[in-house]
């Protein structure tokens, strides 16, 4: 069944957890859609786990539109959310609306995600008012890594926790349909989730969020450069790829591939 932003809000109301993952290409998008994942995020995490950049800051709007177009073309049931990259929504609300619109019009996304709270509230409201569903993102904001100086757990101090509570309320008032909570203490995530009518989707935010999201390359063991504590590895695909490709390399070198059955 086709999932919409309304479906996710209804899921929260009836206590059904939302399962979300990232995808950047056709193969992954088709598999995730086939298994019934609720939401596919074309995340700017592609900058690190797909392109191998050090941060997501280098990811451009054109790159995000390219990957979002590929994913959305092959998804029938999951809700497809395109991640607005650094500098695609900060300059002015007008530019942000124009860029958000490109995700829907040119790339086939059904919603966009923006990192930030009160500071970007007028922009979020303008995008929502233009008829574009928005997913918020609070807590650890990878696009602001240079401002915060790293990827440590956020909102541990009472001051920062209070700001996050306020930001979540403001985003809900602006009309976002859901909020990603990244790398914050689980009790705060619980409190925020219980205080909102829209669903929270956690990553490193504990079990009490209304849903969970992981970067697919992390949980499949495809990306090995670092491994956050909150990632559960469901497979070790890099190891398997290494083994399989080594076997092929050796077969070719030894003249064992192709066999007669694999020849004409």
Is residue 120 close enough to count as binding ligand KIV by CB under 6 A?
no
Is residue 45 close enough to count as binding ligand KIV by CB under 6 A?
yes
Q: Is 29 helix (H, G, I), strand (E, B) or coil?
A: helix
Name which of 81 and 170 has its Cβ closer to ligand KIV. 81
What's the rounded Cα separation, in Å, for the pair 128 and 100? 10
Q: Which of residues 78-117 bind ligand KIV (CB under 6 A)?
A: 83
Is residue 44 close enough to count as binding ligand KIV by CB under 6 A?
yes
Does the N-terminal peptide bond of residue 258 adopt cis geometry, omega within 30 degrees of 0?
Answer: yes
DSSP assignment of 166-187: HHHHHHHHHT-SEEEEES--HH
What's the rounded Cα separation, in Å, for the pair 9 and 177? 7
Single residue of 5, 22, 88, 123 touching ligand KIV by CB under 6 A: 22
Quick check: is 182 catalytic? Answer: yes
Is residue 205 close enough to count as binding ligand KIV by CB under 6 A?
no
Is residue 213 close enough to count as binding ligand KIV by CB under 6 A?
yes
Is residue 43 close enough to count as binding ligand KIV by CB under 6 A?
yes
Question: Residue 90 class from Cβ within 10 Å (0-12 exposed, 13-18 middle, 19+ buried)?
Answer: middle
Residue 256 tokens read as: 């064992």
Single residue of 215, 219, 220, 222 touching ligand KIV by CB under 6 A: 215
- The CB-of-157 to ligand KIV minimum distance in angstroms stands at 23
Name which of 84 and 196 has its Cβ closer to ligand KIV. 84
Residue in 124, 186, 178 with CA at minimum distance from that of residue 155: 186
Chain residues that interact with ligand KIV, rule: CB under 6 A: 22, 41, 43-45, 83, 180, 203, 213, 215
């Amino acid at each position: 069944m086709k999932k919409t932003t309304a479906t996710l809000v209804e899921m929260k109301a009836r206590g059904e957890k939302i399962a979300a993952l990232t995808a950047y290409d056709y193969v992954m998008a088709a598999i995730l859609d086939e298994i019934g994942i609720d939401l596919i995020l074309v995340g700017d995490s592609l900058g690190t786990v797909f392109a191998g950049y050090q941060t997501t800051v280098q990811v451009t709007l054109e790159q995000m539109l390219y990957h979002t177009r590929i994913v959305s073309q092959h998804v029938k049931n999951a809700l497809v959310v395109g991640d607005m990259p650094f500098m695609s929504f900060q300059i002015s609300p007008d530019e942000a609306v124009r860029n958000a619109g490109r995700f829907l019009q040119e790339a086939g996304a059904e919603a966009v995600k923006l990192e930030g709270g009160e500071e970007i509230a007028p922009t979020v409201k303008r995008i929502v008012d233009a008829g574009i569903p928005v997913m918020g993102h609070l807590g650890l904001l990878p696009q602001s890594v240079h401002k915060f100086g790293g990827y440590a757990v956020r909102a541990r101090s009472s001051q920062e926790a209070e700001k996050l509570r306020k930001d979540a309320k403001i985003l809900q008032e602006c009309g976002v349909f859901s909020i990603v909570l990244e790398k914050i203490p689980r009790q705060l995530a619980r409190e925020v989730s219980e205080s909102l009518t829209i669903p929270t989707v956690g990553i490193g935010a504990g079990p009490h969020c209304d849903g969970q999201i992981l970067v697919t390359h992390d949980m499949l063991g495809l990306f090995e450069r670092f491994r956050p504590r909150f990632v559960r590895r469901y497979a070790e695909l890099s190891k398997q790829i290494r083994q399989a490709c080594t076997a092929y390399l050796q077969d070719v070198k030894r003249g064992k591939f192709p066999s007669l059955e694999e020849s004409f």
